[in-house]
Structures are given as C-alpha cells and as structure tokens.
Structure 1
C-alpha cells in the first residue's frame, strides 16, 4: 500500500479558501432589543392605560373624595355605593333595552347583508349590480343629513317612542358597510367549490346554507360586531326618536347622573363600566373571527 501524498501548499497569488463566518457569542437567534419600538409601545400603553385607570378607580371613590383628592388618587375608603346607585337609577333597564335593540339590529343586518352579498356575487344581472351600487351609495349619506325625514317616517308609521323606531334606521345605516364586507368575503370562495356543490345536486339555498355561510363566518362576525357597535353606541336616533324613560338606551340613560348644578362623576363612571361589560364580552368571544374577517376569508 502506498502512502497518500502530502497536500501541496497553495501557490502564490491563489485565492485562499473563504473562512466560515464567526458566530457571535451569546444565545443563538437572539436579537437586539428595539428600544425605540419599546418606548413607543410604552407611551401608547400609557395613553390607553391612564384613562382606564381613572375610570376604574373613580368607580370605587365617594363623590366628595373624588372631588378633593383628584382622579389619579387611589380610593382611601373603597366603596361599591356607586354601582348600587347606578342600578337604583335604572341602568339595568337601559342595558336591557340596549341589548334588545342590538340583538335585533345584528339579526336584521346579518340576514339581509348575507343574502344580498350572495346575490351580488353569484348573479351578474343588471338588477343585482344596481342594488349593490345603491348600497354603496348609502356609505356617502350620513345619518345627520336625513334625521328629519327619518323622524317624519317613524311618526307616520306610529313607531315613535319605541325600540322599533331605533332598530330600523340603525340597521339601515349599518347595512351598506356590512354588504361591502360580506361581498368581499364571499368573492374569495373559489368557483371549484360552487361547481362541486352543483355536481352534488345542491340548489342555491343549499349552497348558501352549506357552503357560503360556513366559509363566510369571519365576514359575518365582522358584520355582527360592526352593527352591534353601531347599535350600542348610537346616540342620534335614541335622542330624536324616543322620549319616555322606559324606551331609553344606554347613551341616553347616562344623563340620569347629571343634575342641574352638578354631575355625579363616580356614579356616572360606574354606569359606564356596567354598560361596557356586555359589548366587551361580545368582542372577546368574536375577536378571532373579527380579525380573520378583516384580513380575508381564512385569515389570508
């Protein structure tokens, strides 16, 4: 057996083989902290957190302590009297009325916007295109511009000072945005799925119920949350179309804590907290579908 020849030294002028890059000391994959982004996030957290802190802390303070110590001071003698006073002033009745109006608005908007969007996506006729353009025209009409005609129509229908008087215009002004959302959501459904349903012998109704609605769940959640927020935070229609105390919603019921010469700030903020709990729970339950609906079907 012959021994292997020793490696010859590299000739002068020849390029040396590249050296492997040196690894930096430290943990693998560790990145430098972004100080600027952290400072911006902390500032934004302060902007959001300080008002929430003031809101929650004030609900446990007495009115005289809040006036003397200021909004940032911790309650020296925490109390739940503000929540009890808010309940005594009828905040639960206002919440119940608002829940009823919100549920009705969400049901009407989801049913009408889903069927309208399905007709727009699957039909290319002139009538459906005209209806879709009419809905888009509704985006440019503010409620303040037509509040007087809406008031006259509600009075002629005999619905003034009722919850139905709030449901109908609120749902009407929420429909254009929801139709636009669901139209974009349903257009992302591939034609192969529609063809598969047609080969299976499914008609339009079955295709809508078995294919379109499940695939459009994120868009439906987005439309539901949007319409619920419009109904829950609405102020103009409850102000103009209702009068009695039994028909008041949250936005009008908060005036119960404002007197002629003073405002019960802790009691008012306790009522605000109680009024925000239901819509916060609804958002927490639908937040994932809401984000997917804003990003597109399936979160694409």
Structure 2
C-alpha cells in the first residue's frame, strides 16, 4: 500500500487538506477593485503632469487626456516669471516658523502632561483638546481683530501665529501618546543618575519621541504649506503672498491659464513632498503611537 493511499484512509472525515505553500486562490473581484483604484489615482496624476508640458491652445482644443503634440517647458519659465519662487520662499519661511513653534510648545507641554500626574494637569489637557472641535472658519473674525490690534496685519507673522495655534491640539495629542510609551524604569534610571527634569527631557524624552516629533513636524508643515484662509484674510500685499494665494496669478479676467496653473501646482508640491519622503517612516510610527498606554 502506498503512502498516499494510507494517508487518505487514516484521514478524519470532514478535514481539509493543508494548502501548499506559495499557492493562493485568485480573487478577480479584488483585482478589479485594485485596477479601478489605480485608474482613479493615475488619471488625475497623468492629467496634472502632462498639462505642464502642453500649450494653452493645445490643451483647450484637444482636451486634458490627449498626449502633447508639441511638448514645451515654457510653462515652467512662465511660472518663475510670475513670481512663483517668491511665493514658495514666503511659504517656506512660514512653514519653518510654524514647525519650530509647534514642535517646541507641544513637546514641552506634552512632557508636563505626562509627568505631572495631577487632576489639574489632566483637566488642562482635556480643555486644551477642545481646540480640535473649533474650526478656524468659526473664529476668523476674532483672529482678524486680534491681529489688527497687535499691528501684525499684512505680515508673515500674522499667518504663523494662528496657524501654529490651530495645529497645536492635534500635535499635543500625538506627542502625549508617544511620550506615554516611554517606560517608567527609564525615568527612574535618569533620576538615579542625578538628572533633573530638563536633562531628562533633552536626553531621554526627546530621543525616544522622534517618531512623534516627525509626525508633528510633517502635520504642522502640511497645515502651514496648504493653508488658505489665514493668508487670504490676514494679508493683502503681493510680496506677502503664499503659494496658495500666488496661484491666482495664473487666472486672468476672462480666462484661466490651465497648463500654467497646473505647472505652478506641481512646483509648489515638490518641497513638501520631499519632506514627506524623508520623514514617512517616522510619520507612520508616530501615528501608530497616538493612543498611548
């Protein structure tokens, strides 16, 4: 009697054979869904990138999905001539300032919340998180009046301060969750070495909270780079415009230069996309630790 026949006879009724490793059942429905999602993502990207090398009359006559008949880089030169680099520079200054303010304030405040285990501290933290429920559109008029009274209207500082303020609640939540994952034994070891709160914060908390800090940096940078409401309401000069307001330079009174506008959009996304590529792994780890212990 062969071994295969013996196995079939001794096998229990109702049991299934184990699947061979490396073999999976085909799933046509999942494949179709994946192709559909790929088309949803790829078609807008194709239209965006191809339009940057097309002329305005070619885009209007043949439509957005047609291949460029006469590729050109004039749209990139036009974007630079219209002051795009100045808008990008202003946006970079605002973004760097917002990231610095949010990182410092959320890290120090989160450290105080985690280490000061009192009802008063927890109450302040929960009250602070109420900012998550307040949209910036609901308080834009009070923010405008405060900025005017402080004499900061039509300046980059007028954009930095409210942008950082509205990014702080989310960043606090992220860093508190990240800092709560630090073991209590590590704090005790630092205390035995004679380290004070400042040294413990700089030598222990900050290095172990790098994923959370990276998440905070990327989130606040996105908020500042893509912000539209505060630049629209709190500035009016051409030399104080950010990239979101500078895109209006490609809109005329009776027509819109669609290839030029899309070229400016592509150029404006390159810096923040590079930031995301550098910090993407830390960003994912930081978001996974939001819940804390």
> Whole-Å Cα distance in 1 between the matches of residues 31 and 279 of structure 2?
29
1:71-121 C-alpha deviation (Å, 9 max, x unpaired): 000100000000100000000100000000000000000000000000000
State the match for 2:281 in structure 1.
Answer: 288
The answer to whether residue 25 in structure 2 is matched with residue 41 in structure 1 is no
Q: Secondary structure at the match of 2:259?
A: helix
Pairwise CA distance, 1:237: 0.3
Runs of 4+ residues deviating >6 angstroms: 19-24
Identify the match of residue 256 of structure 1 among 232, 249, 255: 249
Q: TM-score, normalised by structure 2?
A: 0.92
Identify the match of residue 135 of structure 1 among 125, 128, 135: 128
> Whole-Å Cα distance in 2 between the matches of residues 135 and 48 of structure 1?
37
The answer to whether residue 64 in structure 2 is matched with residue 71 in structure 1 is yes
State the match for 2:231 in structure 1.
Answer: 238
Q: TM-score, normalised by structure 1?
A: 0.90
Matches within 5 A, 1:115-264: 115-264=108-257
> Whole-Å Cα distance in 2 between the matches of residues 185 and 21 of structure 1?
45
Who wins on radius of gyration, i.e. which is larger? 1
Pairwise CA distance, 1:36: 1.9
| Alpha carbons 2:174, 2:289 under 8 Å: kept | no
Please list every run of 5 or more consecutive structure 2 residues that lacks an aligned counterpart in the other structure: 1-8
> Whole-Å Cα distance in 2 between the matches of residues 243 and 217 of structure 1?
38
> Whole-Å Cα distance in 2 between the matches of residues 230 and 22 of structure 1?
54
> Whole-Å Cα distance in 2 between the matches of residues 270 and 96 of structure 1?
17
1:241-266 C-alpha deviation (Å, 9 max, x unpaired): 00000000011000000000000000
> Whole-Å Cα distance in 2 between the matches of residues 157 and 21 of structure 1?
76
Q: Which moved more, 1:129-138 or 1:47-56?
A: 129-138
| RMSD of aligned alpha carbons | 1.9
1:133-165 C-alpha deviation (Å, 9 max, x unpaired): 231111111111111111111111111100000
State the match for 1:85 in structure 2.
Answer: 78
Identify the match of residue 91 of structure 2 among 81, 89, 98: 98
How many pairs does the alignment contain? 282
